[in-house]
Each structure stands twice: as structure tokens, then as C-alpha cells.
Amino acid sequence: MQDLTKGNPTKLILMFTFPIILGYLMQQLYNFVDTLIVGQTLGVDALAAVGSTGAIMFLSLGFVGGFSSGMSIITATRFGAKDLAGVRKSFGQSILASIIITIGLTIISLVGVRPLLILMQTPHEILDMAHTFIVIILGGVATQMGYNVISNAMRAVGNSNAPLYHLIVGMLLNIGLEFLFILVFHWGVAGAAIATVIAYGVSTVTSVWHVYKFIPTLRLSRQDLVWDGAEIRAHLAAGLPLGFQQSIIAIGSVTLQAAVNSLGTDAVAANAAASKVDQLVVLVLMSFGVTMATYVAQNHGAGQYDRILVGMRQTLMMSIGVAILLGIGEVFGGHWLVQLFVDQSDQAAGSVMKLAQIFFYANGPLYAILAVLFVLRYAIQGLGDTRTPTLAGIGEMVARTVAAFGLVSVFGFWGASFANPLAWTASVAFLIPAWLQYEREIKAKA
């Protein structure tokens, strides 16, 4: 475990962030491997089918990530205040709250997914494959909720390494099962989805074992798992706004995906492949934000206000620098990664590659905006403010919707590609004034 309230902030932040970066990259490899194997073995239509479900996955699984992250802010704050009994209570009540939310989320997802695919104008030739893939993923959402709740709790008490180890175990299993189910059993896109669900389930089980074996701070007693109405309400109040925030952002992505779908299968496949490369950059930058949520929450709980300001300045500089380098790499080297997803012998390969490069030109130079967004959003969450990040999420949703109904109809795939930078800018417009106000208050306390 790592106490982020003591020691050199820069060193602590880097040491804490690095395993999170690796963990998120491993997590992305689940979808990366799905897309790679599907695209190379099943063709462009199958690649488009899996890619067309990306926004729906974000809608559901983004809620899972935001909800579990929000509850862990309470855990981290209590850990910073050295309230270890409160830490265990928070973890136990987070588990109970997540069970309730998972049941409701699974039912809603499975009932509404096919009408949503149709509403999104998913091309008819890939509709059935897309439905098969996403139904299996959403049917197994409990495995992703379980992993996220446990991994966020471990990070809340300063352990960012363990989630990485167990994700690697799941990823390696996922790769093996992908080849088995697709190349040997010939289960098609269903095999890719089943492999992902099983792999997350295994990561959840091994994470539970790790907590009880090596992290006594999170080792629960029966009393910690007794229903406590006040605690459940507090954790729902912390988790639901951040879950809805991610879902609100995802609604904009769903709208945008519908607009991309209207451009044809090549555009859908290009967007799917380019988005996988884009997500690698996004998750690296998000890692700095996730670190700041824990860092700010622990130091806020400990009353170490001056450390919050120092950590924020240093993290912003590091994150922006990384964003610039990654943006340059994507613009000039992203096409090499796209080739991994597209069978070059496919007749549509050339068109897909050209469209993917348009995506990189539009997004790569502007990642610095996203770097600022993540650091500010998660820092504000770490202070216990769920309202401002939600407003920022609404800004993102509106911006992507504007792009879907305005830019795409006029500029085609170029318009769709500029939707992300437009959304980041809208979000930052809410976050910067809010952080400046918090900064003044923190300086006064310090």
C-alpha cells in the first residue's frame, strides 16, 4: 500500500500512475485483441460489427467504471484520514451497492440493446453479428463490475500494482481463449465476446484472493457486509453521479456512432480500428487523472492542502507533455497499428486505411486538451464534487451530438473525426473555472 500524503509528490504520482497506465493498456488489449483477431480472421464486416458496438459498450461499461470509481473516493478519503475501520466498511458497502446496480444494469442492457442498434442505423449486413457480440458482453457485465470495484478499492488504499497483475492474468487468458473459440471452435464474434467475459471473471476471482491474502486493510469481516442504509446511500450518492456522467458522455458517442453508421461499412470499420489506437492514448492520459482522484482524496482526508496544489501543477505538466508526444506518434505512426486490424487482401482495406488516417489528423494534435480534462475532472471528483464533472459530461454529450447532426452531414468522416476534440473543449470549459475556484479555497486552507 502507498500513503500519498507523505513524500515527494512527483515521485509518488509517477510511481502510482505507471502501474495504472499498464493496467489500462492491458484492459484495452481485451478489446484490442478482439478487434485484431476478428478483423484478420473474420473480415471487414465482422470488424465493423464489433466496432459498431463500441459506443454501447461505453454506455454500459463506462457507467460501471464511473460508478465504482466514485464509491472508491469515500474509501480513499477515509484511508487518508487513517480511519481503517471506515475503509473496510466503505469497501463492504461498495460491494453491496454494486450488486444492486449490476442486476438492474444487466436487465436494462439486454432488453434495450437490439432496438438501440437499429436506432443507431447499424448496417443491415452486420446487425446480427453486432447484436450477438454485445449481448454476450453486456450479459457478463457482473464480471467487469466485480473487477472494477475491487481494483478501485485497492487503488484507494494506495495499491496500484495489484490490479495490473490480475488484469495481465485475465488478458493472457483472453488471448488464448480468443484463438481457441474463433480459430478452433469457429464461434465467430460470439467466441470473442465469451472469451472476454470469462477473462474478466478470472481477474475478479484472483483479485478477491489477493485482497484476502495480502491487503489486510481491505480484509472484510461479516459486520462490514451487513446492510447499512446510511452507508449505502452515501456510496450510491458518490458512485451514481459519476456513473451517469460516463453514460451521459456515452450517449453523445452513441449519437455519433449512428452518424458514422450512416456513412457505410468502410467508415464504421475505419472508425472502429482508429478508435482502438485512439483509446491507447486516451487510457494513458486517463491514468494521470485516476491517480489524481486518489491523491487528492487521500490528501484532502489528511488535511494536506498544500500537497494537493503541488501535485496538481506537476501532474498537469507531465500529462500535457505526454499528450503532445503521443499525439505526434499517432499522426505519423497510427496507420501501422490500423494495419493490424485490417486484412490487406480485403477489397475495402485501402478505403478503411485512408479514413482512419483522417481520424488521426483530427485527434492527434489536440490531445493536450484531453490531458487537462482528465487531471481536472478526477481531481475535482477527489474533492467530493460530483456536480461539476457531471455538467462537464453533459457538455461532452452536447458537443458530440452537434457533431453527429451538423458536422457529419456536411463534412462526412472529417466531421465525425473532429467530434472528440470538440467534446473535450466543451468539457474543459466547465472544469477550468470550477478548479480555479477550488484552488483559491485550497490556498486559503493551506
Q: What is the pLDDT of residue 29?
A: 67
Classify each residue of 396-423 as buried b or exposed e, where b means 16 or more C-beta atoms within 10 Å of its C-beta: bbbbbbbbbeebbeeebbebbbbbbbbb
- Compute the distance between CA of residue 229 and CA of residue 177 in angstroms, rounded to an integer: 41
| Averaged pLDDT of the chain | 88
Going by C-alpha positions, the residue among 124, 107, 130, 150 that lies closest to residue 38 is 130
Of the pLDDT bands very low, low, confident and very high (cuts 50, 70, 90), residue 123 is confident
Q: What mean pLDDT do residues 27-37 have?
A: 67
Residue 276's pLDDT band, with cuts at 50, 70 and 90, is confident
Is pLDDT above 80 for 105? yes
Evaluate if residue 113 carries a pLDDT over 70: yes
Chain segment 314-356, per-residue pLDDT in tens: 999 999 999 999 999 999 988 888 887 676 666 667 788 888 8
State the pLDDT at residue 34: 64
Which residue, 61, 33, 24, is CA-closest to 181? 33
pLDDT for 377 beyond 70: yes
Query: In terms of Cα–Cα distance, which of 177, 168, 172, 144 is closest to 66?
Result: 144
Burial label for 73, CB within 10 Å (0-12, 13-18, 19+), is buried
DSSP 302: H
Q: Is residue 263 pLDDT above 90, yes or no?
A: no
pLDDT tens-digit map of 52-98: 787 788 778 889 988 998 899 999 999 999 999 999 999 999 999 99
Q: Read off the pLDDT band of 369 (50, 70, 90).
A: very high
Over 70: is that where the pLDDT of 4 sits?
A: yes
Share of the chain above pLDDT 70, in %: 95
CA distances from 329 to 169, 323, 361 (A): 29, 10, 11
Domain boundaries defined on the chain: 1-227, 249-445
pLDDT at 428: 95
